Amino acid sequence: MAETSGYSSTAKSLHWLIVALLTAQFTVAWTMPHIGRNTPVTTLISLHFSFGIIILAVASARLVWRATHAEPAPLDGVPPWQVQSARVIHWLLYILLLVLPILGWINASWRGMPIVLFGLELPKLIGTRAPGWGWTGDVHNLLAYYVMLTLIGLHILAGLYHYFIRRDGVLQRMLPGG
Ligand code: HEM
Ligand code: HEM
């Protein structure tokens, strides 16, 4: 895998598509009724499932793409600790982009809620109220609110730090013209 100097348009498109989908997903998650025992699957809840499954699909495509294409070489002058910590955060984000929707899918199955994507009902991953799987909802919420939003916050702060303080062109590499 040859290292290149910048992100390809495929990498950039997938990156910003995920950003747009996650923005929509968190907006829906905040707006929808809190999901408890016997909550009916209203439009917003079913929208949450649909966006979540689309995120799972796009993130899987992105990971396949990433596994077959090396990241661009770090820019000259960026300290190694920054390159390493960026890598750690990127991989944690990739893992969350898979684990979070899968936990949501398991929890919706556990609750007996149908997951319908463009009219097609997806299979249930576990049986309704299967013993030992009730924790998946709490962990899903916790990972989304605390872990994912924190990592995204750090990631954005790092981008702004490179743009405004180091002025080294790292942020521009992920922008359409960069
Ligand atoms: C990256 C994708 C996803 C994100 C960021 C996300 C985010 C969230 C958030 C923030 C909540 C808490 C809402 C509240 O405050 O009440 C939530 C709850 C929930 N989500 Fe997701 N979600 C994602 C994918 C999915 C998927 C794919 C499904 C199902 C197919 C799903 C099913 C659920 C369920 C069942 C709950 C309620 C859990 C409980 O409180 O026990 N989510 N999600
Ligand atoms: C406004 C929000 C965001 C900005 C400004 C931003 C900016 C960037 C920049 C500049 C890079 C390239 C870093 C480098 O060259 O080393 C990058 C990479 C990356 N970003 Fe973001 N990002 C944002 C949101 C997100 C979100 C929400 C996610 C996913 C949850 C995400 C996941 C990633 C990943 C996984 C990479 C690594 C790509 C790779 O090399 O495989 N970003 N981002």
Domain range for 62: 9-174
| Cα-to-centroid distance, 113 and ligand 2 (Å) | 33
Q: Provide the pLDDT confidence category of residue 2 given band limits of 50, 70 and 90.
A: very low
Q: What is the pLDDT of residue 1?
A: 44
- In which band, very low, low, confident or very high, does the pLDDT at 120 lie, cut at 50, 70 and 90? very high
Q: How many helices (H) and strands (E) does the chain have?
A: 5, 2
- Is 137 touching ligand 1 by the criterion CB < 6 Å? yes
77 dihedral zone (left: phi>0; alpha: psi -120 to 50; beta): left
Q: Is the CB of 86 under 6 A from ligand 1?
A: no
Q: Is residue 15 lining ligand 2, measured as CB closer than 6 Å?
A: yes
Name the residue with the closest Cα to ligand 2, atom 23: 156
Ligand 1 pocket test: pick from 38, 141, 143, 149 the residue with the most ligand atoms within 8 Å of its Cβ. 141
Using the mean position of ligand 1's atoms as its centre, give its distance from the Cα of residue 9 in Å: 30
Task: Say if residues 108 and 141 touch (Cβ distance below 8 Å).
Answer: no
Q: Is residue 1 part of a domain?
A: no
Percent of the chain whose pLDDT exceeds 90: 96
- Distance from C-alpha of 80 to C-alpha of 118, rounded to nearest angstrom: 46
**3 lies in some domain:** no
C-alpha 155 – ligand 2 centre gap (Å) = 7
Q: Decide which of 70 and 153 is more confident.
A: 153
Q: Which residue has the higher pLDDT, 102 or 177?
A: 102
Least confident of 2-6, 53-57, 92-96, 101-105: 2-6
For residue 5, is pLDDT > 60? yes
Residue 95 covered by a domain: yes
- Is the beta carbon of 145 within 6 A of some atom in ligand 1? yes
Whose atoms come closest to the Cα of 70: which ligand?
2
According to the model, what pLDDT value does residue 3 have? 57
Count how many domains the chain has: 1
- Is residue 4 in some structural domain? no
Tell me if 102 is assigned to some domain. yes
* 92, part of any domain: yes
Which one-letter DSSP state was computed for residue 121?
E
| Domain assignment present for 109 | yes
In a domain, 141, yes or no: yes
Ligand nearest to the CA of 136: 1
Atom 29 in ligand 2: which residue has the minimum CA distance? 93
What is the DSSP secondary structure assignment for residue 77, as one 8-state letter?
Answer: T
**Nearest ligand by distance to the CA of 150:** 2
pLDDT, average across residues 125-129: 98
Residue 153 tokens, joined: 């916050």
Confidence bin at 177 (pLDDT 50/70/90): confident
The answer, yes or no, to whether any atom of ligand 2 lies below 6 A from the CB of 158, is no
